[in-house]
Structure 1
Amino acid sequence: MTRQMAKLYLVGVLLLGGIMSLEGCDHHGPLGMITGSIQDWQITASSSYPQEWDKGCHEKYARLYQPNGRGWCAKYKSTSEWLQVDLGTVAKITGVMTQGRADGVEWVTKFMVSYSMDAFNWKYVGDQYGNQRVFDGNNDGYSVKHSYLDQPLMARFVKFHTVQWHKHPSMRVEILGCQECKEFIGLPPYGKITASDTWNFKKGKSCQPEDGHIFSNNAWCPKQNDAEQWLQFDVGPPTTVTGVVLKGRGDTRRKHWVTQFKISYSNDSKTWTFYKDASNLDFKPSNNLTSSRSSISTPYVSTSSNSVLPSNRPTSEAMEFGGNSDKDLERYHYFNHPFSARFIRIHPVAWHSHIAMRVGLIGCPHKGQCGEAFIRVNNDTPCVENLAYKKDTWINNKRHYKRHIRNHWTHGGHAKKVVDGHLESSIHSCTILDNFYVESPIMMVDLGAKTKISGAILITWQGEDPDKGAFKDYMYNLDKLLVYVDNNPKLDDIQKTGQMCGFISKVNNALYQEKLHVSCSSPMTGRYVYIEAQGVPNRWSRLFSAILCEVMVYG
C-alpha cells in the first residue's frame, strides 16, 4: 500500500468512526474475552512462550477467569512485548480488566494500552497530563484489577504493553465498553432473503432462500452450480455492515459448502458494488484459528476439522473471501472497510460438491425513524418494507370525482395519497370510501408483482370532534373494514373471489382508532390488496364512510 493510499484509508476509517459513534449505546460490559464472542483467532501477541515448554501459555488463554495455570506468557522478559485483541468491529471502550496467570507466581504489575481503528495507526491511552498512561496492574496471580479510562475511546484493536511484571510477563485480560455494530442483522422475520435460483429439494423442504440464514438447520442451495448464483439479504433501511459469517449445509449427510465467495451491495437493487479490501493488516495466522479477518491471505488450520481453511484472494474486481472447509464450521470475516447498504449479496465462487450455504450478516441494527418506504408494525419492532409505498391505486368510489360515473374503477386521484408514505392524519391527505354511488366501496393497491403478504396497517382520520356533526353518523354506520389479497385486478365481488387477510369491526369501538392493524391469519401471496368498507346492516340510515389516510402493507 502506498503512503497516499494509507492516508486515504485512514481518512475513511476516521469518517467511519464518526458514523459509528455509538451515541445511543447503553449496554456497557465485557466485550467478549470472557464470553468467548471474541474468538481465539482475534487474539494475537508479539510472542508467546512455546507450548512445548509450557502448555498453559498461549494467546487463546489470555481470557479472564481461565483455569489456574493458564494465561498469555510472553516469550521474552521485555518491555517490547504486547498482547493484541481484535474486537471485530468498532467499540466504545471505557475500561480494562487484568489478571495474572493464576499459577501463583506470574503477573504484570504495570502496563500501557494502545488502540487503533485499523491495526496500522496506533495511539496510546494518555493520562490527564497528556502523557502515555501507565496503568497499575496486579499484585498477585488470582485477583482481578479493574482500571477505568479517563475518557471513553473508539477503537477496534486494543494492545496491552507489558511495562513491569513479577517473575514473568503473563496476563489475562478483558476489555469493557459498548459495541452495537456486532449484532446479526437482516434475519427473518424482519429481513427478506431472496436468491438467483433455488433447488426444489424434497418439494421445498430445504434449499429455499429462507433456509439460507445462519441459524437455519438446512441451507440455501441453487439448482445450477455456476458463478452466476447469489443469495441476497434485504436488511431494511440502509445500515452499516461490519462482517459476515458462513456455514455449509446443515441437513442431510451431503458434504456441501462454499469454499470461496464475493460480496456485493446496493441501496436500490439495481446498481451494485463489489466489496474490495486493502490488505494492510499485519496478521499472523496460527494453528488454532477457526475464523479469519478480512485481510488474511495465508491458509491456516481449523481445529474442528483439522483441515486447511481457504484463504482470501484479493482481485481487481473484488475481494474473494475464504469460505468453509467442512459443513459445520462458522467462518467469520470482519471487514476492514464496513459499508452502508440495504441489499447485500453473497456470490459463491468455488464450492465443495454443490453450492450450499448459511449466511449471517453482522452490523449495526437500524435506529431512529424508518423512512417513508418502511414501517414499524408496532413501536418497538424493527423497520420492515412498506410494500404499498408509492404503488398504483384504484378506487370504485366516485366521491372525489364528478357526480356521474364514467367507468367503475378510477386510477390514482386522491387514492394515491394513501400510499405516499406520509402519516399525517389530515383530511386533506386522505381518501374516502363511502357508499354514495356504489354499494360496496373498495380501494385496490397494485403491488406490482406477486408478493408474500402478512398484514396491513391502516391509518384513519377520526375527525376533529367525533361526537359532533354528520361524521359521527357516517362512522357509526360503518361496520367493518376488510382486507383481501388476490392475483386479479378490479374485482367488484372481492368478498366472493378473494382471499380474506382479515378485518377490523366496530366491536368495542375498534374501528375508531387512528391506527388499525389487520394481521393475516396466515401469510398470503398475491399482487393486489383490496380494502373494502361495509356498513351496518338494517340501520335506518344506510350511508357510511371510512376515511383512510395511509395504507401500508408488510410481508
Structure 2
Amino acid sequence: MAGPCTSGFWRWMVLVLIATTATVTGQVCQSPFGMESGAIPDDSITASGVGHHYALDPHLGRLNGTTHYGAWGPALHIIGQWLQVFTGNTDTKNPVTHLLDNPVHARYVRFYPQSWYGYIAMRVEILGCNTEIIWGLTLNDAGMSHLNVSWTVVGNLPISRYTLRYQPSDGSGPYQDLSPAPGAGDTSATVLGLMDHTEYTLTLTSFDENNQPNGVINETFTTGGRRIIIWGLTLNDAGMSHLNVSWTVVGNLPISRYTLRYQPSDGSGPYQDLSPAPGAGDTSATVLGLMDHTEYTLTLTSFDENNQPNGVINETFTTVCQNPLGMEDGAISDDSITAFSVLHHSYVQPYFGRLKGTAGWGAWTPARQDNQQWLQVDLGVIKRVTGIPTQGAHLPVNNHYSWVRLYKLEYSGDEFFWTTCADKDGSDKVFTGNTDTKNPVTHLLDNPVHARYVRFYPQSWYGYIAMRVEILGCNTEIIWGLTLNDAGMSHLNVSWTVVGNLPISRYTLRYQPSDGSGPYQDLSPAPGAGDTSATVLGLMDHTEYTLTLISFDEDNQSNGVINGTFTTVCQSPLGMESGAIPDDNITASGVGHHHYLQPYFGRLKGTAGWGGWAPAHQNRGQWLQVDLGVIKRVTGITTQGALQLVHHRFSWVFAGNTDTKNPVTNLLENPVDARFVRIYPQSWYHYIAMRMEILGCSTD
C-alpha cells in the first residue's frame, strides 16, 4: 500500500496513526515542534540503540545541538538503526530540510539512516503544527435572543460528539452548555434564549472515539435584531403523500393560533392551508394528500392575542420515501439486529453492522465465509423499504481490510415467509456492494417493498465478509395500494389495504376522466368504514379514470389519501391465476397417468405439480375446460407451457407458445358471452401441456 513517505516509513506509520495529535507537514504548517528549543523533553527522544559513549545519547540529536558530541549515534552502524522523535547531510554544520509532499498526522516519528559518513550521527527538528479538526466558527444569523453558527470539519479524524458552551463575554453570567449538544455529524447549531444586544463567547469542542477532546474553536458574537418567536421548521418524516414537520417556540410571547400553508415549490399548484390548522400549543403538524416525489414549500405563521402575525418560518421538503430507518442513528435497537453466525471475536457482533458505525471493528463478520451467511434487521413494524446503503468494515478484520462486493436482499413481514428481491427478468437481483472500507454505496429499489424484516446475503467479498448497513424507507400510509380488481365496459372495481390500526370512520371515493373531460363525482353511497373495496358504475367505455380514495379519522379529519388511474376495458383476468376459479371448476377430457398433471394445475403461472395440465392421449380431441360460474364476456386467452418436464421433456401448446416460461395472449376479434370455455390443442411440442388464463369481464 503506497504512502506519503517511503514504503518502510508508511508501514510503521500505519500502527501509530490511531493516536494522532499533530500534523507533520512541509507546506503552510512549518513551526518547529521542539527538538531545537527543548520543548520536546529528553525522555521523549528514543532510538534503536546508543553508542557506548554517553555523549551520543538520543536526546543529543537536537537540531543545532552542541552538548557533548552534538549528535545521536547508535551502537551498531548498520541499516535499521533509528531515531524516533530524507537525502540527509553533507557536513556537520549545515541543516538540510525536507518538506513532505503529503503531510501526515503522527505522534511518534522515527528516522532510519540509510547511508552515512563516518558514523551514524544525527541532530533533527520536526516541522508542523497542531492538527485542525474543526475550523472557522462563523455567524450565520443573529436575533434578539439567538445566535446561529456553523463550522467546518477538516480531514477525516473521528468525531464522536461536541459540546458548545456560551457565556456573556464580560463574564456577567456563567458558562452554559447547549442542550441538546450538536450531533457528531452536525456542522451548525443555534443557541436560543440569549439576552438582547449582548456579546457572547461561544466555545465549540470536539471529542474523539475515546471521549478525549481533539479540537476546540471559539469566537465572540453579539445578539441583536429581530425577535424570534418560532424557529427551525424541521422535517421529521416524509412519505409518498405526506410531510411531518416540527418547530421550536422561543421565549414566552403569546401565540393564539397558527397557519401552515403549503405549495409545490415550482408553483405548479396553488397555496393551500392545512385544515385543521395546528393548535396554539402544537409544535408539529402533518400535511397529507401530497403528490409523490414533489418538493413543497411550507410556511408556518404564528399569531398573537390580537390576531396579528408575530412569527413566520418556511422551508422546502420533498415527498419521498427514502428516510434512514434507524441503523445509523440507533433507533433500531441492538437486539433487533441478528445474524446467521458471528466470528468468534467480540468486535464483529451483528449490532456493529450499523452504517458509519465505529464500535468494535466497525462491522458485522460471520463465523464462516460463505454465501449462506446473512445479516438481519427487524424494523419493528412493517415499513415501506425503498433503498439500502452498505459500507465495509471500519477497521481491518483480523488484519485484513474487508468489504462485501456483491449481495442479495430478502424481506419478510413475519420472519417465516421470505421473498428475494427480483431483477427485471424475475431472477434474484444481485446488488453491487462496496469497493473500499469507507465510502457507502446506496441502491434504490426499482420496486419498493413492504417488510418488517430485511436480510442481507453476501455473495462476494474482499478479505472477510464485513458489512455496515442502513435501510431507507418510510412508514406505511394509513391506506395503501388502490388496486384494480375488475374492469368492465362501464365499471371499475377497486380494492385497497388498511395499514396499522389507526381508526377510520369513513371514506370518500372521487372519480373523474383523467383527461378532465368530465367533472369529479363522489361515489354514492361512499364505502363504509370497514370496507376495503368498492365498485364505480355508469362509466364510459374505453376511458381512463382517476380515482381518489380519502380516509377520515374519528374527528372527521382526513388521515390518508391514495389514488390511481384505471381504464374501463374488458380484459381483466377472470380467476385462473388468482385462484378465484375453484379447482373443481377446471376439468379436462383426460389426465396423464401422473397425478402431477391434473386439470387444476393448468393455471397461468402455476407451479403446483409439474406446473401444467397434460392429457393421457396426445391427439386433437383433448380439451381443458373452465367453468366461470356465471356468464361473462370473454375477450382473450393467455396460455403458457408446462413449468417442469413432462416425461422428461419440456412441453407446450405449439400454436400458442414457443417455450415453457413466457405467456402468450390472444385477444378475440369478436368477444363472446360465455360461462364455459374449452381449449382444444391443435399442435404441440413433445406433449400437450398448458397453463392458461381467460380474460374478460362481467357482462354489463
Scaled by the length of structure 1, the TM-score of the pair is 0.30
- Computing the radius of gyration over CA atoms, which structure comes out larger, 1 or 2? 2
Higher relative contact order (CA 8 A, sep 6+): 1
Structure with greater proportional helix content:
1
TM-score for the superposition, normalised by structure 2: 0.24
